[in-house]
Structure 1
Amino acid sequence: MIELDSSSASKALCDGVDMSQTMKKLMEKILEETNKNQEVVRGRSRLRYAASELAADITAIVGDVNFYLHKLEEQCKAPITSLKLRGASL
């Protein structure tokens, strides 16, 4: 499970920034961390995941919103299905 501080997402909404750009940055950060293939717990950035959970799916929690991301984009349950996970080596 991945949990992120919602301050950047809510700031983006208040500033009228395109959320797709925010989600792309979020996915880049997730993929960067998952490529390390190890457990990571960071208290300050609130980015957490367990390597054993990554094979099946990823849950990104931004504030009160859950995004369910899967290795294959066709299986994605998140409302941002246009977000491509091409090149992701989970």
Structure 2
Amino acid sequence: MKRPIALLAVLLLASCTQTNVVQLGANRFRATAENTYTAAQAEVAALEAANAHCARLGRRMEAEVARSDTQMMYFFTGRSVAPASYGSGAVNFICI
């Protein structure tokens, strides 16, 4: 009974995307995102965070550089090892 509950908790946490926006200079920003599914989803989340940041400033986002990366993680489930991918994405942008 404990195993299905633990697996459900891992799956719920795995679907979360964490985003962050930092200022690099005068009107230059970087949005990053981490996602436990794919790099493409993480890159989209970073672009959405960049759009939302510029929208809060009443401006429009213009991407300069976008990148994404996927790495594999492995979880020990007691009797076997379960693979899962981990994606990250970043975009440098300005608000115009």
TM-score, normalized by length of structure 2?
0.30
Task: State the structure with more CA Rg.
Answer: 2
